A and B are shown apart, each in its own frame.
Chain A
Amino acid sequence: MMYHLPLLTSSEFATYLLNGISQGMIIFLVASGLTLIFGLIGLINFAHGALVALGGYGTLLIADATGSFWLGLFGAIALVALLGLVLERSVLHRVYERPLLGFLGTFGMYVVIEELISFQFGDQARQIASPLPGYVSFMGATYPKHRLLIIAIGFAVALGIGALLSYTRLGMEIHATATESETAEILGVDSARVYTLTFVIGAALAALAGGLTGPVTSVSPGMGMSYMILAFLVIIVGGMGSFKGSFLVSLIVGQITAFGWLFLQPTYVRLGVFVAAMVFILYKPRGFFGKPEVFE
């Protein structure tokens, strides 16, 4: 069904804009973990969506038990990062040379984790209480504080990971291993350690996304899947393995979903995003910022 294009007041415009940014930030947090793991290891990590859901449920449970959202969020991040470490060290590092097995294996992990959550907590969505309830008003609009918090954390993480990749020794080692792992090893980089650390960082980002989005969208066993599909498409359009690309494209997709429904039903907006991603895969597989050496 088509909607008429209404004239937006400035407060409505600000609300949509901020909705788009906060939505984009969640997508970015999911996509950044995926793109780090993909860019370095070449692994399509299907278990990522399950880690997002685990982050959400971990935050919910610890926050319920202790009464502190922050304790819940950081506890969930630590636990999911630990799980990432265990998964990577126990099985995943064996299949890096075989992308098909890696994809299938992480897909199996996704199914098991999601079903375990659904088995334990049921399928119904559950809400997490925000640490910052209430609203702020500006430009005539009232806006939930929690979404502003998401935006702030999203930007902080983007800057932090960007700095990590550009200015630290670990960042250099990640770049070196992604480009020429053998040469990097000759020069003294412990590539196994770099792989493990990257996977753990990716898992922690997934948990952060799941916990942060809980108060806005609620948590359910399948919550990771819809974000992950969108995130996959974001990292294609942004350029596989490009951190900057996934940040920019996440924000663009966030704005498209926020403003798109003024013209079209949300589902049709989603359809448009998928079609765009398919066209990109065919005609511009490196996206906007992808580098040629990254996996074809």
Chain B
Amino acid sequence: MSAVAELRRYFTETKRWLLVPVLLLAILPLVTEQYFLSIATQAIILGLFAISVDIALGYVGLFTLAPAAFFGIGAYSVAKLVVDYGSSYWLGFPAAIVLAVVIAVLIGYGPIKRRIGLVYFVLFTLAFGVLVHDFTYATTWLTGGSNGLGYLTAPTLFGIDLSRTVPYYYFALLAVVVVAGLLYWLLSSDYGDVLHATRQNEVRMRYLGYDTDREKLIAWVLSATVSSIAGALYVATVNVASPSLMAFSLTGEVTIWVVIGGLGTFFGPFLAAFGLTIFESYLGAVLPEGYLLILGALFIVFVFVLPDGLVGLLQRWRDGE
């Protein structure tokens, strides 16, 4: 066996190829300046956010228009504890997870148990998303209203000041790799197959004895929780939890990332979110208002011409060889 074939086998048949992008991200601070690195920090966190939305949208086919609500719930959990109660930053993460689980169960149980159709699920989560945003805007005593909750920075851990750009980048990278790794492990297991099968033929899965409502609810809660973790990680990069973190436009953006990356492909949404966030920052210097326009046009092309997304495009290219 030639060395090249050996190398290809080494990387493709196992999941070791995953180390390559992780290593590339790990050496990024050595080759870029501070400004780019702060954008990259946000980009990897938004990549995790896109993965979380892909679980609901791509794996189980629950078309949610509320991801920004959960992202914001995570961000506000951290900000509320740190800014208003002066408690530890680290307490914010368990708070964000618990709050997201509780709200996700409360919101998701009814629609999933009653098996409402796609259209109704879309509108139900749309109403919930707008509700959370408006609530945040209106309850000034709780959330600071339109000013939001600020100012907060990440604390010092083991003598490392996480509020600086490079340490926070590594902290965020570590957190994203750990959470995404756990999710990938979970979704590569039989559970991931159950989700894919449920999306493709729910009735047959029920005949086979699976409690599909339970599986969908678990995936929904998982998706909401990871969205919330991403929001909790994100808030320290902008220093303020503001209603824009739960705005409908963020839901729109993340949906676009997931579709462009490829529904149900896990890495595609991460890649699209990461790449497009970086692209946005570059475009901002040249054409500040053009980002959403280009994003929307790109999205239309993907929906009508390439509904399999970037990953589907790559697979087609590989299979064509």
Contact = CB atoms under 8 A, between A and B. Distances in A.
B296 A115 contact: yes
A281 B293 contact: no
Interface in B268-285: none
A295 B117 contact: yes
A275 interface: yes
Contact of B303 (A99, A105, A240, A270): A105
Given A232-B123, A278-B124, A282-B116, A108 B138 contact: no
A111 B252 contact: yes
B290 interface: yes
B110 interface: yes
Contact of A103 (B63, B120, B130): B63
Interface in B103-128: 110-111, 114, 116-120, 122-124, 126-128
A119 B293 contact: yes
A65 interface: no
Contact of A44 (B111, B119, B293, B296): B119
Which of B110, B114, B119 has most A Cβ within 10 Å? B119
B296 A281 contact: no
Given A112-B297, A119-B290, A267-B137, A104 B124 contact: no
Given A108-B296, A111-B295, A271-B138, A282 B114 contact: yes
Task: Tell me the dominant secondary structure on chain B's binding face.
Answer: helix
B259 interface: yes
B292 interface: yes
A289 interface: no
B174 interface: no
A137 B87 CA distance: 59
A296 interface: yes
Given A267-B134, A274-B127, A105 B300 contact: yes
A99 B296 contact: no
B255 interface: yes
A101 interface: yes
Given A100-B118, A111-B292, A282-B110, A271 B123 contact: no
A44 B126 CA distance: 12
A99 B255 contact: no
A171 interface: no
A240 B110 CA distance: 20
A40 to B, nearest CB: 14
A198 B134 CA distance: 33
Given A107-B255, A278-B127, A99 B119 contact: yes
A84 interface: no
B138 A268 contact: yes
Contact of A236 (B110, B123, B131): B123
A157 interface: no
Given A91-B304, A107-B252, A281 B289 contact: no
Contacts of B295: 111
Nearest to A285: B120
Interface string A113-131: 0011011000000000000
Nearest to A265: B138
A216 to B, nearest CB: 22
Interface string A231-250: 01100100010000000000
B196 to A, nearest CB: 16
A51 to B, nearest CB: 15
A94 B304 contact: yes
B142 to A, nearest CB: 13
A278 to B, nearest CB: 5
A277 interface: yes
9 contacts: A99-B119, A104-B303, A107-B252, A115-B296, A229-B127, A232-B127, A265-B138, A271-B138, A285-B117
Interface of A: 38, 42, 44, 91, 94-95, 99-101, 103-105, 107-112, 115-116, 118-119, 225, 229, 232-233, 236, 240, 265, 267-268, 270-271, 274-275, 277-278, 281-282, 285, 295-296
